Amino acid sequence: MGRRESGVHSVEPGGASRSRRGPCIWGRADSEDPPATWFCSRRRWPEALSCLSCRSSGGVCAMGDPGRPEAARPEQEERLSSDTNENEAKSNEEPLLRRSSRRFVIFPIQYPDIWKMYKQAQASFWTAEEVDLSKDLPHWNKLKSDEKYFISHILAFFAASDGIVNENLVERFSQEVQVPEARCFYGFQILIENVHSEMYSLLIDTYIRDPKKREFLFNAIETMPYVKKKADWALRWIADRKSTFGERVVAFAAVEGIFFSGSFAAIFWLKKRGLMPGLTFSNELISRDEGLHCDFACLMFRYLVNKPSEERVREIIVNAVEIEQEFLTEALPVGLIGMNCVLMKQYIEFVADRLLTELGFSKVRCLKIYYY
C-alpha cells in the first residue's frame, strides 16, 4: 500500500498516522487488513482505546479517516465540542484549575497542606548513585530460574511505568493545575520519577547480561502482553478528553497506589529472605516516594468541587484491582518466588480499600476474594 495524505495528516504504510499540523485525528488509510496498533504523536495506542479526537473506539476515527464520508464529521465535531465545553465549564469552577496570574508566583502560600507535602517530597530526594548494587550479582546468580524470571519481569514493568506516570504529569496535570504549590509538587515528582526509571534500568542492566534479553525487558510494553495491559489502562486515561480531572486523579492514584503495590510487596518478600540488598533498598526508597504521590493525589481530590460520584470512583478502583490481581496471580504469579497468590489478592484489595478511605469513600466489599 502506498503513502496517502489528507489535509491535516499523512498515513504511512501499515496504518501509522503522523500529524502534519494541528491535532492528530488518528485517521487510517483503509479498512482492509487493519493493523493491531498504530502510532500517533510518538506513542503507540491500541485499538481497544478510544480515538483522541472523536472518542470513537475500535481504532477507526469517525472525524478524519480518509476512507469515511465527509458527512460524518460535523456530528462528531459537535459531540467533541460539547464534551470539551462541559469539561471546561467544570474546570472553571475548580479553584485548583482556575487560571490566574498568581500561578507564576509561589508566595504567599495559599495551600499550606499542599506546600507541606511538596517540602516532604523535597526532603526525601535521593539518586541512583546512592544504591550499592555490588552485592546483588552474587545473589542473583544463586537464584532459581523462576525467581530470576519473576524479578526481571517485575523490573521491566517498573522501568516503563514511571515514564507513563511522567507523561501524564507533563501532558495533563501540570498543564491543568494552576495552583503554584501543586505545580511545585508535580515538578519535583517528575524529577524523582526519572530517578526511579534510571534505577530500574540500572538494575536490569546489572542483572541481565544477555543483550537480547535486556532489550526484551526494556521494551516490555511491546513484548509482554500483561505489562502492555497495565500500560494501556494508564495511557487511556492520559488520552481521554471526555473524563474529568477528578476521574483522572483517581485513576493515577490507582496506578501508583494499586498497580505498584503488589510488585513492591513481592520485592519486600525478597528482603525478608535476606536477598538482593541493592534491589530491596531501592524498593524501600521508591515505595516511599510512590506512597507520597498517592497521598498527594488524595489531597488534590479532597480540594475538588466537582468530584466524581462514589459509584464512578469504585468502578475505576475495582477495575485497577482486577488488572493487578490478574497480573500477579495469573500472568506473573507470585508463586514463582514462594508467595501465596490468594494472600496477594487479599493484600491488593486491602490497598484498594485504604485508597478508597483516603479519597473519602467507604470500602469495597463486593470483590470475589475478601478475607477480613
Catalytic positions: 200
Q: Can you read off the three cell numbers belonging to residue 13?
A: 504504510
Residue 358 CA: distances (Å) to CA of 63, 296, 302, 310: 40, 10, 9, 13
CA distance 158 to 173: 21
| SS3 readout for the chain | CCCEECCCEEEECCCEEEECCCCCCCCCCCCCCCCCEEEECCEEEECCCCCCCCCCCCCCCCCCCCCCCCCHHHHHHHHHHHHHHHHHHHHHHCCCCCCCHHHHCCCCCCCHHHHHHHHHHHHCCCCHHHCCCCCHHHHHHHCCHHHHHHHHHHHHHHHHHHHHHHHHHHHHHHHHCCCHHHHHHHHHHHHHHHHHHHHHHHHHHHHCCCHHHHHHHHCHHHHCHHHHHHHHHHHHHHHCCCCCHHHHHHHHHHHHHHHCHHHHHHHHHHHHCCCCHHHHHHHHHHHHHHHHHHHHHHHHHHCCCCCCCHHHHHHHHHHHHHHHHHHHHHHCCHHHHCCCHHHHHHHHHHHHHHHHHHCCCCCCCCCCCCCC
Count the neighbouring beta carbons within 10 Å of the beta carbon of residue 290. Answer: 24
Which residue in this structure is represented by grid cell 491543568?
176
User: Residue 312: CA atoms inside 13 Å, Cβ hemisphere, count?
Assistant: 12
Count the neighbouring beta carbons within 10 Å of the beta carbon of residue 105. Answer: 8
Q: Can you read off the three cell numbers belonging to residue 57?
A: 473506539
